[in-house]
Amino acid sequence: MLIIAHRGASGYAPENTMVAFLLAYQQKADGVELDVHLTADGEIVICHDDALERTSNCRGELRKKTLAELKRYDFGSWFGTQFSGEKIPSFAEFWDWFVTTDENFIVNIEIKNGPYIHHGIEQKLLDIIYSKPIKNPYDRIIVSCFHHNTLNKVKAVDAQIKTALLFEGTPVDVVSMCKQSGPSEYIHPCYSSLDNAMIAAAKSADIGVNTWTVNTVEQLEYVKQFNLTGVITNYPDRARAALEK
């Protein structure tokens, strides 16, 4: 079962920062998950929220700030004083690092298209990926989104890029839903939505299942009963220990 570090090793370091991604790699995660938005000047940055207050010393909407403006702020101190001065990473900066990682290390890129739509982000994202090629890119990259039409746009740019449907709850027909969105190769349900019938239907159609966000020992023990492709967790070291028991 794959262990994918949610926003990096975000249980130990400020989420969606390079220090969190580096720590996940050091903890032998199989990959990292991250979130992307467009800035006011059309750059792709890594951040979960559309508002900046929770994870920085800045206020306001991310989409109304330029990359240069965002780089002035501290995205680490909220988590701990030892991370003071940690900057928001652009996706290009992340990609510069990712191309140096082990050839089996994967990335799950969640496009945050909601509550507003980042028009053109799909092409911009893939342009950065194409700018510095990696070995076996179609085995190492997953693009996910709650806004399922975004995944159709990703496939329109590159049909070989693997995509994943994010959702909570249990769809009536998960296979049909995947065919309409991409088609997508993965589903990413919340762990509390896991259902044997849904997972069996996905697996029968060769659709992978990665579940989020699985953090406690009890949650990790719970998901072990399902035939999953991977788990997305804030604590990759804890997940490794629990799942390999």
Token code pair at residue 173: 């027909």
Active-site annotation holder among 48, 118, 148, 188: 48
User: Active-site residue 6, yes or no?
Assistant: yes
- Cα 234–235–236 angle (5° rounding)? 110
User: Active-site residue 118, yes or no?
Assistant: no
Q: Any alpha helices (H) in the chain, and if so which ranges?
A: 18-26, 67-70, 91-98, 121-131, 137-140, 148-157, 174-180, 196-204, 217-223, 236-243
Residue pair 218/238 in contact by the 8 Å Cβ criterion: no
Beta strand pairing status for 44-46 and 106-111? Answer: unpaired
Instruction: Write the DSSP assignment of 56-94 as a string of letters.
Output: SS--SBGGGS-HHHHTTS-SSTTT-GGGTTPPPPBHHHH
| CA gap 10, 23 in Å, rounded | 9
Residues taking part in catalysis: 6, 48
